[in-house]
Every structure is written in C-alpha cells, then in structure tokens.
Structure 1
Amino acid sequence: MMFHRRKNNRNQEKDKQNVSNEHNHSVEPLSGTFNEDIQRIRRTFQKSSDVIIRTFNIGNDESNNAAIIFTDGLADSTAIQNFILESLMVDVKKGQISRNKLIQQVKNSILTVGDITEIRDFESLYTTVLSGNTVILINGSTEAISASTAGWEDRAVSEPATQTVVRGPREGFTENLRTNTALLRRKIKDHNLYCEQKQIGTLTKTNIAVMYIKGIVNDKLVGEVHHRLDKIDIEGILESGYIEELIQDETFTPFPTIFNSERPDVIAACLLEGRVAILVDGTPFVLVVPSLFIQNFQVAEDYYQRSDIGSLLRLLRIVCFIIALFGPSFYIAVTTFHQEMLPTPLLISLAAQREGVPFPAFVEAVLMEIAFEILREAGIRMPRAVGQAVSIVGALVLGQAAVEAGIVSASMVIVVSLTAIANFVFPAYNMAISVRMLRFGMMFFAASFGLYGITVGSLALIMHLNSLRSFGVPYMAPFSPLIPNDLKDSLVRFPRWALLSRPRLINRKNMKRQASPAALKPEPDK
C-alpha cells in the first residue's frame, strides 16, 4: 500500500516535471536568424492552411528581408495591405532606413497601425498570430513586432433575448470582449473605471477582463477576485460558466452565488455599487461579484419606472417565487393531511375530481411536473419555428388527455400550470432552475409530513441560505444580517432621492453616492 502511494507520488512528480519542461521548452527566444526562424514557424503551422506567411523586402533593398505572419479570417486583410505591406514595401525609399536601427525605425516612423508590441519568444508569437494580430519578423533582429490587426466577423450589438424590458436601453453584450468593455465605457465615462486583462486556459488562452471603479470598490475584493482567477489551471475556457463554477464560494448549493447579465446598464449599475465585473471573451454573459439573494429578483426596469411601480412588480416576483416553490407541495399537504382547512364545497369538488384518479396526490404531482419539465426543455431545444408551438400544443393536449383519461385531476393540472407560469416570472434564469429543483424536495416533505414537513423543509432552506457567502459577503444581506439602511432597495424600492448610500457590506469605503435627500427632493410650488 505504501509502495503504491510512493509510486503514485513519484509519477505525479514526474508529470509535474514533464509539464514544467514542456513549458520551459515552449518559451524559446527568437534566434535572430531570419531563415531559421521562418523555417521553424513554417514547421509549426505546416498543417494549418489558414496561417499565412508572406516574405518580402523592406523598400528596394534586397538585404532587408522581412516577413509577416497572420491568420486568415481572424486578421483584417485590408489593414494588413494598407498599413503594413504598403508602408514597408512602397512608402520606404532607398537610403531612408539604417541597417543598424531598422527595427526601431519600423516601429517609430514606418508602421501606421494603432497598437504595436514587441515579441521575443516563439510561444508569444504563436499566441499573437492565433489571436488575430499580425507579426512582423525582420532579418537580424531578435525581437518581432506585433501589430494590432484583429478584424474577424462578430455579432452586432442587439437587444438581449433573455432580459427584455419595456422601458430602458435596447443594447446588449456580444461575444466580442472589446465591444463589451466599450459598452461599459460608454455608460461610465470616468478614468477610475479600471479594466485589467489576463488570459486563462492553457490551450484556448481566453482573454478575461476584470473591471471595477477605483475609489468605490473594496480593494480586498479586487485582490480576492484576482487570487481566485490566478488559481485556475484548466485547458480551456469557452464560456463564463466555466469561470463561475471555478471561483464560486460554495459548490454544493442550488442557488447562484455569482450574478450574471448580458445588459450593459445592469453591469454598470453593479459597478457603481462597488462590485467587480468579470468579462469573458466569446460570451455575452458578464459575471458580477459579490452577489446577493435579493439581486435575482431585481431588474433594470425597476429603476427606470417610478418607485411605486417598480416596488409592486418586485413584490409580484417574490410572490411568484413563493408560488413556484410551495404551490404543488401546499396542495399535496392540504388535500392529503389537512382537509379540514378547506371549505366544505371546495373539499367536495376536489373529492369528486379525484374519485377516479388511481394515484395519490404526490405521484400525480410528480408525473405532471416531469411532463411539464419535458415540454419546457423540448420547447427550448427545438428550432424556434416549431419550439413554442410544440410546447403550447403539447401542454394543452397532454393536460386535457390526462384529465379525460382519469390519470390526473383537473385541479392538479391547474396547480402545476400556475406553478410553471410563476416560474417564468423570475428575471434570473439560474434562480428559476434552482426553484424547479427544490420544488420536488418540498413535494416530498409535504407528502411525508404535511404542512409540518413543509415547515421543516423551509427552515432547512433558510438555514442553508444564511450559511452561503459570495466572496465573503452574506448571501441573505440585508435581511441576515439585518441592515435597515439597505432595506430601501430590497423588497421594495424607495424613491431615487432616498437611495443615498451604497450597500454597506459590499462597499465600506465610499458609501455616499449622491447629494443629501433634502437637496434632491422636489420642492412644492409656492
């Protein structure tokens, strides 16, 4: 046993050494010999027909050999032609450049592209080429030039499909990281809005941007975000869900402890509160930390409408949360254990409906819930032209046929349908999924112990919620711990002039975000 452990430890150490050796081998500097470096690059990309290597002479001097390397489809061919090839081959006259200072003259006075960086090793060269930039290699130089020429086709800015509003901006994030950072810059035109970029993924090398407002955000929070991101060691990051799962505080919980949105106005509002946004290249969903439970019931439109309208709609979402979570379980508990709670006419009607049903209420509810979950998933996965039609027609036909066949009662179809509709009211899709999972647990407790089981399940759920943290911040704030000042924007939204301070547990450095309430209150006409 000990031998196997020692052998496994030795194998692990060898694997680490091999990975380290491969990493050190890949970071090999450029030799400065033009033909040798070009041959090595050709061998590396010999199976990649989309990587273009073009050799030429700078100006009319045949001794000034140079080459450009770029990826067709990722780089802008027009920019390469106008700002690189034309500048180096046509605009340069003989005798204008010096052989000794060629690389400096190319960078300082010849190239007309916007962003230029230096490359001194092959690994950086490969990453730069595969990121859409163009690498310029010059004979006799141990460093190459990276010119910013990324120009692939991407989706235009359009209205988000998952978070629509009646009143508010119609723009949403795209899959382009730089477009997303620009959308946030348009909202917050302040030099204290920092954007720090890094790459995660040993193979995908996905660009990640961390954005926050200096002077408002807690510096410890920023440090914790960078610490967790730097600990990630994975081959590829294809969506922000990868990052979310790797940096979240709690793994085994159905509730989302990291908020996400594809609306720039929502992310900008979070940044103004002192939160940190994590943008991932290749996805329109931006992560925000820390996240609170009540945040999943808030939408951008709450702040664009009057406070009374926004508060009413927010309370409606919370009521729908209760219905979606406890609707079927409450029906099971009352009809199975607590019939005395129902009025006599209603009890007689329910008994008549269930007279020919062969299953108990719990089995009846589980069958209907599973059927609706199948229809919901089928409506999402099928093509849009037929997805909605299949889900609607399937629900109608299935419900009516099940009632006529005597498998389920009509009242159970009503309860399950109302529960499914209430589940769609949630603005946060991942919170809706959590409620769908917890609903089955509540139904089991109700079928076992009635209302007492629902009470026990609710207490266990509340204890679990109070134990959660999101980057050190209590998940149930401002209810637990109770922060009276932050209740102004929780269950209801107070008028704009009353929202004087930022959330206390998120930001403790710069609490005030607007003038005093007396200065913002509308003055009555004299």
Structure 2
Amino acid sequence: MRYRNQYRKITSREKRSDKQETSGNTGEFSLHPILKDNLHQIRQELGNSPDVIIREFELGSSEVEIAVVYNSGLADKMMVGDFVMRSLMIDSAEKIYKNMESDKNIFDFIKNNALAVGEVKVINDWNGLILSILSGDTVILINGWVKAISGSTRGGESRGIEEPSSQVVIRGPKDGFSESIGTNVSLVRRRIKSPNLWLEPMKIGNVTQTDVAIMYIKGIANDKLVQEVKQRLNDIEIDGVLESGYLEEFIQDQTFSPFPTVYNTERPDSVAANLLEGRIAILVDGTPFVLIAPTTFFMFFQSSEDYYQRYDIGTVVRLLRFFAFFIALFGPSVYVAAITFHHEMIPTPLLISLSAQREGVPFPAFVEALLMEVSFEILREAGVRMPRAIGQAVSIVGALVLGQAAVQAGIVSSAMVIVVAITGISSFATPTFNMAISVRLLRFLLMITAATYGFYGIAIINMMIIAHLCSLRSFGIPYMAPLAPFIPGDQKDTLIRFPFWSLMTRPRLVSQKKITRMEHDQQPSPPKQKKGNTDES
C-alpha cells in the first residue's frame, strides 16, 4: 500500500507536467488521466469493433493498472505476445516494481527498458493514438498518465513477393512489388545499398490516412524536382487514397491528354534503374504499382529486359516495339483510307482481290472496321474480367469463331479480319498498359478522319498528335525529350541502346547534378600481346 501511495504522488506530479507539455494540443484530443476513461473512449471511437483487442492487467505486485491495445488484423500477433505482453507481464514486471521504490519514472522505464520492439514513440494526443492502433501498432496505456506508448508491431496478413503480372520478362529478376509499402521499400534498398537513398514518408487521405513515401537518391536527383513532387503531394486534399492512380491524376501536368505523363511499374529493378538516372519514386501503401516522375514518351517503350540482353538484341526488340506501335495506331485507318479514297495506291492484283472479297459486304469500310474493332475490344475486356482459368480460352475461341462467322455471313471481308487481328496483336507489344490504352483510343479518332478525308485526314491528325506530344510536360521536363528538344548525348538510349560502357552520362534534363555515371571509357578490348612473345608450334 505504501508503494501504491508513492506511485500516486509520482503520477500526480508527472500528470501536472504532462498537462503543461500537452497544453499546446487541442483539449478535446488530449488523453484522459484515468485508464478506464481512455479505454471507454477507444471502444466508442472504434465502434466496439471485435478486432480491436484490449488487454488489461497489473504490473507485478505494484497494483499499477495498465492496458495494451492493438488491432488483431493489422498487428503481428506473435510480436505482440512475445515482445510486448511477455515483456511487460513477466520479463520486466519485477524490475518495474523495484524501480518504483527509488522514485523513478515508470513511464520512461517502460518506454526505454521494458519493450523489445524496434520502434517506440510517445503519443500525446487522441488522433495519434487512434491512428497508431489502425496502423498496426500496439498502444500501451498507464493509469494516471495523459500520454501513451506506441510500439511498432505492424504485420498481419499480406501477399508475398511474386513475379509481376503486368511486366513479364524472360531474363531478369522475378520478384515484384506487393501491397505492403515496407516490403516495397526493402526491395528497392536491396538493390541500392547507398546512404544517399532517401525516403520521406507522409500520409494522404483525411479518412484512410494512407502511407505514401517519396524515394530518391540525394546528390543525383534534382533538388527543385524533389521539392515540386513534395509540394504537389502535400496539396492533395481527399478523403481516401486506395491506389497510386488516385495520386497520378492529382500530380500530372496535363489532365486532358490521352498520353500518360507519370510512369508506373511493379518491378523493383525498374524503380532502381530510374532512381539511378535521377528520377523520383512515389510508393503508396496498398498497391504494388509505384509511380515514377518525371517521365518521357520513350520510357513507355523500354523494358527492363532490354538491359539484360546484348545491346544489339535489345535495340532490335525496341525498334520492333516502335514499329508495332505505329501498326496499332495507323493500321485500320490506313486500310479504310486506301479502300475508300485512294485506290490508285493499291497494286492492281491486290485491289482486284480486295474488291472481290468486299463484293457481298453491305457496309462501307469504315463501318466494317468499326464493328470489328469494337468487337475485338469487347472480347479483350471480357477476357481480362473473366476468371483466369477460362478467360484466355474464351477470348481466343471467341475471336476465331466471331471472325470466321462474320466472314461467312458476309458482314465483313477477310482482309478486314486480318487487319484488325494484326492491329490487336501489335497493341500487346507495348510494354506498359496505359500507353497501349492511349493507342486504342486514338485509333478510333484516326479511323473517323480516314473515312472522312482519307490520307489527308490521317496526316492532319498525325500532325496534331505530334504537336500535342511536343507540348506536354512531366514535372517541367519535355515529354518528347531527348528528341524535342534534341540532345545528342542522350540518343544512346532512346530509339536504340548502345553498350553499357558507352552510357557514361545520365539524362541531362532529368538529373542536373552528378551527371557522370562512370569515370572513364571502359570499352572491352582483347589483351595485347607483347612483342616477341609468339606461340611455339
């Protein structure tokens, strides 16, 4: 009983100092000095949720009332049991009881000596307490104190590291980002073991309080660019952020554009490569897709595998992607324009064959192409949304059956089926999904102008697209760099890829600090033979 009275004297004195410390906080958000009131308020705030576990007990023989609060679905239960509950109830209980005799601060002793978790912090306000519980931390409340202790025990169920599904490579790392921002950060740090790799966390979303982190390499990334990214993120006022696409619409330079101005990827090696070039990565908790800024048009045609193969193979494959891009964009419109207006541009034998095929078709070429393109897009979307086990089979069989039936019914010609099939296959050659969607949208616009004005309409729309691309910016960086403006030193990794030993500098517009990647030319050469040193036969 003597110890309990002594404890009351200590807590009353500390309580007065705590009131002075927390006087700057809003009164309605401060914690109560009585433990029962705090627990009652937690249950009310969280709606008596069954996944919020509250464990009340006394510290050893001291009769000091204490409570441990955590969320069973967000916290690691094994960590809570072994490193918090066991530590307080068994390992440190008697030490705390003995230290009370010497008039020591029990709160500081628990914070500094009684918890075997990595991250421990003090909570002085109510909003911080609720946020810690909902973030997966374990909160420790002591009767008589108007502040709490939060220990990092975040865990719970999460998806493991798997191969990326949207950016598949044959040669290269097979690990991909998951929905845990901590796991994603570790995957990048595993590749870049540098103290200059900085991480700046923040929370966005008034309701969801989503964890967002900015990652960049200090000394390589442009400081003004880093400040611009942070400013745009801090200006976001929204209830919730459920995916990185939410942030992409707020921070992009141009809203009304079919072309993406922020790059997204779920490959850690791709993020590491862009960080080394001076770009900035934006990681969002709850999604495996990481945003990269700034970006250029040519980044969407570069794959991580281009740098894992020989430079000549990577160059040929990259040029093939650009060729497929033009087929996917202009294929149907060129066919419609040639069939409708420009018969003289088609060789005579081919024109006779096409005319024979279209003899029984009741629709003009534009309507024919429009029907096939819309049908193909429906099949593609249905194949994506259907269960994975039958989605591919249904899309393939549906395309074959639909095309063959349409030709036999005389609705479309065989040539149109071939054009639409080649166009659809070419659109899949683009490594990034959002750029492929842009091509699909612009293809219909080109078909309309081709059916109206022929090749003249295609040329006009083409010039408008090029002008629009040259006017775009991504965080102030020209979208068509390094072609517009033309930078000769950056052409080594744009349309083609030079060997690694020739890529001595980083992109000049992106990284304006520490541009040099390697100190000198490292072109390999065969060993030189010394004079007079010949092989004896």
- State TM-score, norm by structure 1: 0.93
Structure 2 residue 371 is the aligned partner of structure 1 residue 367: yes
Paired AA for residue 333 in structure 2:
S
Counterpart position of 2:420: 416
2:486 to 478, 482, 488: 482
Structure 2 residue 330 is the aligned partner of structure 1 residue 326: yes
Counterpart position of 1:155: 159
Contact 1:26 1:122 (8 Å CA) reproduced: no
Q: CA RMSD in A?
A: 1.3
- Per-residue CA deviations over 1:57-110 (Å, capped at 9, x if unaligned) read 112211x11101111121122222221122212222164222650001101111
Counterpart position of 1:432: 436
Counterpart position of 2:73: 73
The range that moved more, 285-294 or 109-118, is: 109-118
Paired AA for residue 69 in structure 2:
I
Counterpart position of 1:127: 131
Contact 1:69 1:136 (8 Å CA) reproduced: yes
Separation in structure 2 between the aligned mates of residue 444 and residue 346 of structure 1, nearest angstrom: 24
- Corresponding residue SS for 1:70: strand
Bigger Rg, structure 1 or 2: 2
Structure 2 residue 407 is the aligned partner of structure 1 residue 403: yes
- Corresponding residue SS for 1:386: helix
What is the deviation of 1:480?
A: 0.4
- Corresponding residue SS for 2:49: coil
Structure 2 residue 172 is the aligned partner of structure 1 residue 171: no
Paired AA for residue 336 in structure 2:
I
Paired AA for residue 298 in structure 2:
I
Structure 2 residue 202 is the aligned partner of structure 1 residue 209: no
- Corresponding residue SS for 2:215: strand
Aligned residues: 501
CA pair 294-27 structure 1, distance change in 2 beyond 3 A: farther
- Corresponding residue SS for 2:511: coil
Separation in structure 1 between the aligned mates of residue 303 and residue 524 of structure 2, nearest angstrom: 24
What is the deviation of 1:525?
A: 4.6
Counterpart position of 2:35: 34
Contact 2:164 2:176 (8 Å CA) reproduced: yes
Separation in structure 1 between the aligned mates of residue 238 and residue 133 of structure 2, nearest angstrom: 22
Separation in structure 2 between the aligned mates of residue 212 and residue 373 of structure 1, nearest angstrom: 39
- Corresponding residue SS for 1:478: coil
Separation in structure 2 between the aligned mates of residue 177 and residue 442 of structure 1, nearest angstrom: 41
What is the deviation of 1:496?
A: 0.7
2:197 to 184, 193, 206: 193
Counterpart position of 1:8: none
Separation in structure 2 between the aligned mates of residue 447 and residue 268 of structure 1, nearest angstrom: 46
Counterpart position of 2:84: 84
Structure 2 residue 94 is the aligned partner of structure 1 residue 93: yes
- Per-residue CA deviations over 1:461-505 (Å, capped at 9, x if unaligned) read 000001100000000000100011111100000111110100011
- Corresponding residue SS for 2:431: coil
Separation in structure 1 between the aligned mates of residue 119 and residue 435 of structure 2, nearest angstrom: 42
- Corresponding residue SS for 1:128: helix
Structure 1: gaps of 5 or more residues: 1-23
Contact 2:43 2:49 (8 Å CA) reproduced: no
- Corresponding residue SS for 2:55: strand
- State TM-score, norm by structure 2: 0.92
Separation in structure 2 between the aligned mates of residue 159 and residue 347 of structure 1, nearest angstrom: 48
What is the deviation of 1:39?
A: 2.3
CA pair 27-402 structure 1, distance change in 2 beyond 3 A: farther
Counterpart position of 2:514: 510
- Corresponding residue SS for 1:93: helix
- Per-residue CA deviations over 1:115-165 (Å, capped at 9, x if unaligned) read 101101111100100111100001222210001111211111111111111
Contact 2:314 2:497 (8 Å CA) reproduced: yes
Paired AA for residue 215 in structure 1:
G
Separation in structure 2 between the aligned mates of residue 116 and residue 328 of structure 1, nearest angstrom: 62
- Corresponding residue SS for 2:457: helix
CA pair 469-75 structure 1, distance change in 2 beyond 3 A: same
What is the deviation of 1:429?
A: 0.3
Paired AA for residue 151 in structure 1:
G
Counterpart position of 1:496: 500
Contact 1:26 1:123 (8 Å CA) reproduced: no
CA pair 53-26 structure 1, distance change in 2 beyond 3 A: farther
The range that moved more, 400-409 or 51-60, is: 51-60
What is the deviation of 1:352?
A: 0.3
Structure 2 residue 533 is the aligned partner of structure 1 residue 521: no
CA pair 501-101 structure 1, distance change in 2 beyond 3 A: same
What is the deviation of 1:52?
A: 1.2
Fraction of identical pairs, as percent:
56
- Corresponding residue SS for 2:228: helix
